[in-house]
Structure 1
Amino acid sequence: MSNTFLIIDDDMNIRKMLKQIVLKNNFGRIVAELSSGEHAVEEINFYNPDIVLIDLLLPVKDGIDIIDQTIAQGFTGKFIMISQVENEHMVSSAYEKGIMFFIHKPINMLEAIHVIKMVSQNIELERSVNLIKNVLSGIDSSSTSTNVSSIEDGIRNVLTDIGIISEAGSKDLITVIHRIILHKKKNPLISYQLQDIYQQIANEDANTKDVKASARTLEQRIRRTILKAMENISQLGLDDYYNPKFTEYSSRLFELKQVKQEMRYIENPAEERGKINIKRFVEGVISQINF
């Protein structure tokens, strides 16, 4: 697992910490470090790194604008947002622009390692899929059927592991994740929108009269199911912070900060609940099953 990284943050200590995490864990090499967004678009296009670790709020040009411009110019690398911003609108905007994962400030070493490892694994999977596509000209129906079964078994194993396989939305979640995996296999470089996936599934349901309403209902069931998964993982963390399932899934499927907020809620229901991000959860499951 060796990728190239470009770090953009106006805090020198943050840059040093991120560089140390990348190098000490053998994630790859650092091709450049920037302290502002002034020339970030040009530098990203020049170095073409596999992963950009980028602060949301930067001098001259903010992280969202940089992401927007580089993607528009054809950059296909991955972005990991580094930020202490709590504004939900700004966070949602970042996800819409192509961010899949956040590392919150102050940086938690465990969370940062998990997130970078997960994104690195996703890149390796994409490379493997492309390699297979280049080598194989076709796959017969029997092997396709076996592969489909294997994918679904992998998803079910993860959902069982985190205690949500019996939840009402688990079937919907399996369908959505399976659909996204097939989408990635066809073209790993093309992004997807969850709303489009929901709409496709709703369109295929012969009993659906109102497609938009059905898609919203499907999303709500999935959201409730993922929230239950966060609750389960958070309870594990309260019982034993070093529980292997907690350390594995708390940062792979969720933002660690939100898991800790859910832990506070479990101890005191007067607290706010932790927030989930469906796309992050889905990408985490895909990374976990190593499709």
Structure 2
Amino acid sequence: MEKTFLIIDDDINIRKMLGIIIKKNNLGRVICELDSGEHGVQEILFYNPSIVLIDLLMPVKDGIEVINSATKMGYKGKFIMISQVEDEALVSRAYESGIKFFIGKPINNIEVIKVIKGVCENIDLENSLNLIKDAVFNLKDSGTNTIEQLDIDKKITSIFTDIGISAVIGSNDLRKIIYKILEIRRKDPSSNYALQSIYEEIVEEESKESTLANKKALEQRVRRTIQKAFTTIAELGCEDYSNSIFTEYSTLLFDFKQIRQEIRHINNSSEDPGKISVKKFIEGIITKVS
């Protein structure tokens, strides 16, 4: 899967150089750039990039503060620290915050490529191990055979990639919700479910690992993620109504009248934006993967 990058550095030249190196060497895609650490944690949690390239010394909030906060709030991706600081105490603090990879300033192309490729290989290895572990252990009691589960997961990932949310942190929450509904339907195809109950169940499970888990935050992540998909589909429709992704998902996941309203809003900001239905979106995904 393509790696996504978020770059935080107060030097625009550094940000641009890193972006060019990543693009030219097919290392992945830069999805966000920030010039300070002020909103770094919020943006990391929203975009959920594979890798965050972050400067050590920045105004408002330094790199170590951002790393510590984002990690505590659930970010599982990798950080690469960018710095020319040689102060042993600062470097020690960086290691204590979990940093394992550094890129020195001034930027050196060969070093950047080498470090990023190493981190990407590290991510791929971890993902493979986690996939095997999930397939063998976590899915054993679900009543679904491993091959079927992997096929469903592959379909969900493909859909999320198509609609532009595969790198958004809320996509993990959506995946959990979909699995729970599929399990309910597997036991009784005619049964109904309440999203609020599923939210509560997920939060209860997450609270065993994190005191930060709460229902309101889960709902916000889910809605924000679906809103991102909604905007992506509407933007595709603005460009080309015959776009294959637009024609496939505009009615499957959303109310088409609301998609048209969102297109009008994109073309003219004075128009009201379109609205999403969380349940319709989730049901559309379930229909597609079942």
- The structure that has the greater radius of gyration is 2
Q: TM-score, normalised by structure 2?
A: 0.49
Q: Which has the higher contact order (CA 8 A, sep 6+)?
A: 1
